[in-house]
Structure 1
Amino acid sequence: MNTLGFTIVGFGTIAKTHMVALRTLPIIKPLPLTPVLDALVTRRPEELKHQAEQIGFSYITSDLNEALKREQTQAVSICTPNSLHAEQVKAAVQHGKAIYCEKPVTESGQATRALLQDIPEQYNEQLAFVFRYHPAVMHMREWLLEGVLGEVLQCKVTYLRSGYLNAKRPVSWRLSDSLSGGGAITDIGVHALDLVRHLFGEFKHVDGQAYTFVPERPSAAGAADHVRVKVDDWATMAYQTEQGVRGQVEVSRIAYGADAFRIDIVGTKGSITADLEKDKRPTLHLLDGTVPVLPIPSALELLPDDKATLGVFQDSHTAALHHFILRQAGDERWSELAPTIRDGYAVEKWVDHVLKQSEQNES
């Protein structure tokens, strides 16, 4: 039996999302390679040993290089704080392991640009821009390629989360400028910018501002002392693509009661709208009132079917890892879909630009 052994680095929510996907895939999809959870790399190997064994890991360690030396591992899934990614990616390259890395690539576009020098061209890697694998996004892209909207004029993307409005929420690595590199713009803004680029091509320019509304937080849960927060809670960007599409991107982690991931596209023939939080298929509005026969994306095959769904968030991660496994087996279908570390840099450099603009405006 052909297997694909994974080392998972990290044991947070996203790492567990990857584990669920890899354990579930052989049940719901025929695979050319069987994913195996080989090694877990965690700061708490003794504490997590029993749980890791229950999940199916054969090896638990705090040393990534130790795990990467294992012949049973052919791929590494990196699910750690952003500032740790660069060294972990380089370690995987040195050991010749395929890389599946969470977004953003690093804590800054500048750091990602430097990292690219250590990754050979055409290296076996994939970045977790998982919203490319969202079914509504797949439909949008197929319809746009079909020319359903005519000439695309503008697109607005609004990605709103709410978990950081509470000023009593203590500091974590996502609120640390040294570990994360940024707040909403780095955490979820990269997803929004990648979707614009995925749908409409390269950016000609992106300008904007980012702001921190909750400037200090408890140093730990229940702590009386507070620390300054330097990363943004909210950001807005105006962009134009090389093809002439214009639009706005707004991202927030303090939009209490308004969680959504809306995409609104307007073309000369009508519009496409969707909220990726709940819509698996976008809505098409045509000026002439017709209801055309719309193409069905073949890449939907990567997703769990309706009877196997675990929710659109988990499903998108599952589809992305499904594609990663197929690519390890030499399957070249949907090659334009797979996001790379270079795709990460293509949006992270604009995040750097907007953060620099905001810093200059406040000085």
Structure 2
Amino acid sequence: MTEDTPQLRVAMIGAGFMGAAHSQGWRTAPRFFDLPAEPVMSVIVGRDAARVDDARRRFGWQRSATDWRTVIDDPEVDIVDICTPGDSHAEIAIAALEAGKHVLCEKPLANTVAEAQEMADAAERAAARGIRSMVGFSYRRVPAIGFARNLIREGRLGTIRQVRALYLQDWLRDEDGPMTWRLDKAAAGSGSLGDIGAHAIDLVEHLTGSRLAGVSGTLATFVEERPLLGETVGLSGTASEQRGRVTVDDAAWFTARLEGGSAAGAIGAFEATRYATGRKNSLRIELSGSRGAIAFDLEAMNELQFYDATAPAGEQGFTRIIVTEPEHPYMANWWPTGHAIGYEHAFSHEVVDFVTAVTNGTDPAPSFADGLHIQKVLEAVERSAGSGSAWTRTDDDDTDDDSTDEQKEA
């Protein structure tokens, strides 16, 4: 960047865990990538004045505020980055888009399909005026995922027949662990299903170019009451003696059929849980095709396992590829070959892609329309689990279980 490089002034709403991760992205991206515009970390917004000012100092923002409406009305703000719980996404995003601000919104897009539809409609109206929006599915920007997508596009897997996608964490296994907003349906929308299962859905669709057309799901809540949070310490809190009711799922399982793209006709098995003892942040994707297969685990995020079924029989086997070469997506801007990158780098890559799209006047991905689709899948899983239905369409025009007997038996 030079003195003539235009600036994009950013207001980030939310100063917790995701606020810290997004701050890392905004701060680091322009120092390692030659961006067409310079993002300026203008203002960070949080509800508690003392905490948000501390976050401003630690994360590198110029100033802090306690009312998100002030940045919506601020003519000095170009981009609004939403890192709040899902119950506030729709109100903030729609207001920002209508005020002419570009919007980056954390996933899942909203807590309900109705809210997501309103957001997608607002994004479409804003796009006609040159205002861009994107959903923050950051794992799309992991280099190993980008490399896997390239292999699939080149036809190296052939016809994809089976998909396995699991997101396994264990941070809730202690039943005396405190309540957080992520366990409150009013704030979070859903539990493991939306919080981490949305990532698994998005990655499968991103990799294959296919869409989940129908699902059959099961949800479970293992611990129904937890201690309420007491005093806040850093980005977390301590437990009090009072207890609150858990109103979301602890774990979700569902099968799916895919339509379109390289996995048209494939079947998928999905799991999302925060009770997988020993798994800290294991997002596992495995795609099996007629010509090959890939396997990825976020706990080994610099690696991709690739099986070439076209190789001679005596040479076949999963090959461990270290995804740190300059030929791999994003990696040319980081360290020498063999030097790994981490979780936070995906947020830098997200900033790179969003700033580039905003500056060049192109539509970034995933769009709010993509986020709406994911919300429809999440709702379909919930409807299936709630009704005991063997098959539930993901499109909103088909809310009843009108599948054939053959589909139900599949």
1:354 paired residue number? 381
Tell whether 2:60 aligns with 1:39: no
Q: 1:313 aligns with which of 343, 365, 376?
A: 343
- Distance in 2, matches of 1:54 and 1:158, equals 34
1:22 paired residue number? 26
Q: 1:303 to 1:6 in 2, by over 3 A?
A: farther
Say if 1:136 and 1:276, in contact at 8 Å, map to a contact too. no
Q: 1:58 to 1:149 in 2, by over 3 A?
A: closer
Partner of 1:219: helix, strand, or coil? strand
Instruction: Determine what percentage of the aligned residue pairs are the same residue.
Output: 27
Structure 2 unaligned spans of 5+: 230-237, 390-410
1:226 paired residue number? 243
Say if 1:110 and 1:349, in contact at 8 Å, map to a contact too. no
Q: CA deviation at 1:341?
A: 1.2
Runs of 4+ in 1 over 6 A off after TM superposition: 296-299
Q: CA deviation at 1:275?
A: 1.0
Tell whether 2:357 aligns with 1:327: yes
Q: 1:47 to 1:133 in 2, by over 3 A?
A: closer
2:330 paired residue number? 301
- Distance in 2, matches of 1:14 and 1:82, equals 12
Q: 2:311 aligns with which of 282, 289, 303?
A: 289
Q: Report the AA paired with residue 288 of structure 2.
A: V
- Distance in 1, matches of 2:189 and 2:124, equals 25
Say if 1:277 and 1:312, in contact at 8 Å, map to a contact too. no
Q: CA deviation at 1:109?
A: 2.3
- Distance in 2, matches of 1:302 and 1:64, equals 35
TM-score, normalised to structure 1, is 0.91
- Distance in 2, matches of 1:141 and 1:15, equals 28
Structure 1 unaligned spans of 5+: none
Tell whether 2:78 aligns with 1:57: no
- Distance in 2, matches of 1:238 and 1:297, equals 37
- Distance in 1, matches of 2:24 and 2:336, equals 16
Say if 2:10 and 2:43, in contact at 8 Å, map to a contact too. yes
Say if 1:142 and 1:297, in contact at 8 Å, map to a contact too. no
Q: CA deviation at 1:53?
A: 4.5
Q: CA deviation at 1:117?
A: 3.0
2:235 paired residue number? none
Q: Note the alpha carbon deviations across 1:197-216, whole angstroms, 9 max, x for none.
A: 11231222122111111111
Tell whether 2:164 aligns with 1:156: yes
TM-score, normalised to structure 2, is 0.81
2:223 paired residue number? 214
Tell whether 2:260 aligns with 1:238: no
Matches within 5 A, 1:40-119: 40-49=44-53, 51-53=55-57, 55-119=59-123
Q: 2:12 aligns with which of 8, 14, 29?
A: 8
2:194 paired residue number? 186
- Distance in 1, matches of 2:309 and 2:61, equals 55
Q: CA deviation at 1:135?
A: 1.2
Q: Report the AA paired with residue 352 of structure 2.
A: H
Partner of 1:80: helix, strand, or coil? coil
Partner of 1:118: helix, strand, or coil? helix
2:402 paired residue number? none
Say if 2:168 and 2:273, in contact at 8 Å, map to a contact too. yes
- Distance in 1, matches of 2:31 and 2:88, equals 33
- Distance in 2, matches of 1:302 and 1:330, equals 22
Q: Note the alpha carbon deviations across 1:29-72, whole angstroms, 9 max, x for none.
A: 22221111111111012443355246443332112221222232
Say if 2:217 and 2:254, in contact at 8 Å, map to a contact too. yes
Partner of 1:313: helix, strand, or coil? coil
Aligned residues: 358
- Distance in 2, matches of 1:226 and 1:91, equals 35
Q: Note the alpha carbon deviations across 1:172-230, whole angstroms, 9 max, x for none.
A: 11010100011000101111111121123122212211111111111224322322212
Say if 1:262 and 1:275, in contact at 8 Å, map to a contact too. yes
Tell whether 2:170 aligns with 1:143: no
Q: CA deviation at 1:299?
A: 7.6
- Distance in 1, matches of 2:78 and 2:279, equals 41
Q: CA deviation at 1:15?
A: 0.7
Q: CA deviation at 1:331?
A: 6.8
Partner of 1:223: helix, strand, or coil? strand
Q: CA deviation at 1:311?
A: 4.0
RMSD value over aligned CA atoms?
A: 2.6
Q: Note the alpha carbon deviations across 1:135-188, whole angstroms, 9 max, x for none.
A: 111111111111112111111011101111111111111010100011000101
- Distance in 2, matches of 1:54 and 1:314, equals 16
